[in-house]
Chain A
Amino acid sequence: MLKLTTLTKKFGNFTAVNNINLEINAGDFFGFLGQNGAGKTTTIKMITGLYAPTNGTVHIGGFEIQKNHIEAKRLIGYIPDQPFLYEKLTGKEFLYFCGGLYKIEKRKLKNKIDETIDQLKIDQWVDKRTEEYSLGMKQRIAIASALLHDPKLLVVDEPMVGLDPQSAFIVKNILKRKASEGVAIFMSTHSLNVAEEVCSRIGIIKDGLMIFEDKKEVVEEIIGIDHQNLESLFLQMTK
């Protein structure tokens, strides 16, 4: 579903992302870990078409994002770390707006919005203007908006930022269920316990280079040899 080939991004002389190769299939839940400034967000921005790679390609469902951006973007649901919402619209209006952008038929969209509101338990404040929302509320609306068109690939940047424990629990479950339904998930996170709990594959990026990438079972094996948990493995690798 997602294929990164020799993906590189340079800003002047500085290489933010260096020659990343990665393939994520339907049903994979990929956890993308790295320190601040390692290149996670730059990679995500190239996947979503916000940045053009200096070298290499991003393919989504067979479409190269730089050449067929509309076809590729139809398959993505993107949840940024700091979601943009129109402040004067209510959460529900924003969801109708986003559904319309994917040309979802009105009745189907209404059902889908009701279903998503129910899943994310946002019915109490979804009719308030988004300018009144906390960061966690905004994050849940962004998640809801990314699920409306049943994307084949979910690109998630720091999903747990600002979420209270109940909300974090709901979001984790939704993401897990989406993966089990065959959606490919690419999730960047600093929450190592969340990655350990939900991801089926783990990748670690350092200074723009992918220094580790393997299945969760392999990670667990490595942890079992001489580490207590993913956190101590991550700290050692990124030292």
Chain B
Amino acid sequence: MSLLLHILKFKILTFFKFQDELNFKSLLKQLSASVVYLLFAIGIFFFTRNIITYLMEDVKIGMFLLHRFVFVVLFIFFMTVNIGNIVVSYSTFFKTREVGFLLTLPISFAKIFLIKFLDNFFYSSSTLLLIVSAALAGYTSYFGLPWYFIPFAVVFLILPFMFIAGTLGAITLLVIMRFAATFGIKKVLVTIASVYGTAVILFYNFSSPVQLVTKVFEYFPNINNYFGFLESPIIKLLPNYWVADALYWFSSGRFIAAGWYIYLLIVVSILFFLFSLYLAKKWFYKSWLVFLNLSGELSVKKKSNGKVICTFENKSSLKPRREALVKRELLLFIREPSQWTHFIIMLFLIIIFILSISNIDVMILNAYNIYMKTLIYLIIYLFNVFLIASMSLRFIFPLVSLEGETIWKIRSAPLNYKKLMLTRLFIYFSVIFVIGQLLNFISNYQFSIMLTLISQLNTAFVTITLVSLNFGMGAAYANYKEKNPIRVASSQGASLTFLFTIIYLVFLVVLLFAPLTNYFFAMDKRSFTSLAQLLYTSVVLGMISFIVSYLSISKGVRHFNKDI
């Protein structure tokens, strides 16, 4: 135990040391970052309070359905923390040099796992925790709960909830690595992906939100009552159900009923934690060896079979410099497991998203009022934008940093560095642009052709904005020493970019809400649907996109000339 505390003490000491030398510029940078975080938290606070006010007082969904909405949001949150922890843990547990260093010292494997798990959990979940805390403050304010409910709920509801998601992520990773040794990494990854896909589909089947809304509204106007009896008992086993239900009982003033869920959350999080430690004791070192063997085997296979997808030796129709650049980009991407595995996970999420929106037109037509129709459309559109934002953050933000320590070669070569970086940006932008357009088309084609076209245009503007923002911020916060793209994409600069992205999403909601509501109003009354308002919105979005992109790219380009 003392050894563990000793290591944690030094980890905390490292964490609290300033990133740069203590001078006016670095202080100003830290202060600005804190102000942005604070403003963002305030924004989330008001956004949550207004959304709850809107749902309760305009849409009139009632207490029970409101908390079922929270239940679905918490499921997405759980999956984000869980999958995020699997991906980041792979780098933290196996790829960092610190683990190699700790393994040469007299420290047990379970302790190394614990240190890296905590490191990973707090590193990758801190921004999410800030978002949830601010949202919880908005919730507390709407229901008139005392201020101390916020820290109470964070400590006893949210942290255990996130901890369950995080430990489950770490456990899943250990299982993947352990079984990869026996069955091969591809088979294990396909199995795990199928399990996750099935879990998502089962979740929506068992929770069936549309059916629940219909059933609850049969009891109108008593929609604030508790309708737990209408739900499948299976979903009552989920941690997001416990948190949502606890919040329902707290806001209804029934604290004892909420206490049971707190007890469940804490006990289950402790059990998961102990199980992860047990597995780590048994499998952490074996997993580390599997990781090493996988890397070793891969390099040998490449040498022996000689079949490489793209080689520099092959003839190319591209100009020499462009060929060197494109081939390097492709080779580095396919040879870095954290790049292609993360890309495949995102594609997998996109497929689930596409499957789940296959009946969007039916959902919207069945919605019992116009605001609900707008809300459903906007949620789906925002999810689409969120996927574009995630891809930009994950693959565009680290672009400049990933030049890595080989940047000396590029910077000392007789070429236009700015042009080179913009070419790299264009390669990744093209991929994200195509995915964004495809996603948008799939979620819109059931509506009128004009709405689809306007939406395609808006998505194009949004993609340009988000890609440029991530590129500029990635260049401003470039860290050439960090080889791990996942660590770059979860650094302080990346968190700040994520916050700007969320602000942009809120702005999108504000901008699109009124024109979309009017559009659905007209559609509902079967009258002539005016698209002029939606077109004006696109013009505004295009102008904003141009300004943000110009500022971001020029900020990024300015940083290319910085000393390295």
Chain A interface (Cβ < 8 Å from any Cβ of B) = 11-14, 16, 48-52, 69-71, 73-74, 76, 78, 80, 84, 86, 88-89, 93, 97-98, 100-103, 129
Contact = CB atoms under 8 A, between A and B. Distances in A.
A50 B299 CA distance: 19
B104 A86 contact: no
Interface string B289-306: 100110011011101100
Given A14-B300, A101-B107, A93 B13 contact: yes
B190 interface: no
A86 B10 contact: yes
B6 interface: yes
Interface of B: 2-3, 6-7, 10, 13-14, 17, 97-98, 100-101, 103-108, 285, 289, 292-293, 296-297, 299-301, 303-304
A50 B14 contact: no
Contact of A88 (B3, B14, B97, B285): B14
A49 B104 CA distance: 6
A7 B103 CA distance: 20
A52 B292 CA distance: 10
6 contacts: A14-B300, A70-B108, A73-B104, A80-B104, A88-B14, A97-B7
Contact of B10 (A11, A52, A89): A89
Given A73-B104, A73-B105, A100-B6, A88 B98 contact: no
B7 A101 contact: yes
A67 to B, nearest CB: 12
Given A48-B104, A49-B104, A50-B104, A101 B293 contact: no
Contact of A103 (B3, B14, B17): B3
B420 to A, nearest CB: 28
Contact of B98 (A76, A84, A129): A84
Given A51-B292, A73-B106, A84 B101 contact: yes
A76 B303 CA distance: 35
A157 B7 CA distance: 25
B13 A12 contact: no
Contacts of B303: 14
Top 9 A-B pairs, shortest CB-CB distance:
A11-B296, A12-B297, A84-B101, A73-B106, A88-B17, A100-B6, A12-B300, A84-B97, A88-B14
A3 to B, nearest CB: 19
Given A12-B300, A13-B304, A49-B104, A101 B292 contact: no
Given A70-B106, A88-B14, A101-B105, A12 B7 contact: no
Contacts of A12: 293, 296-297, 300-301
A211 to B, nearest CB: 23
B7 to A, nearest CB: 7
Contacts of B2: 103
B106 to A, nearest CB: 4
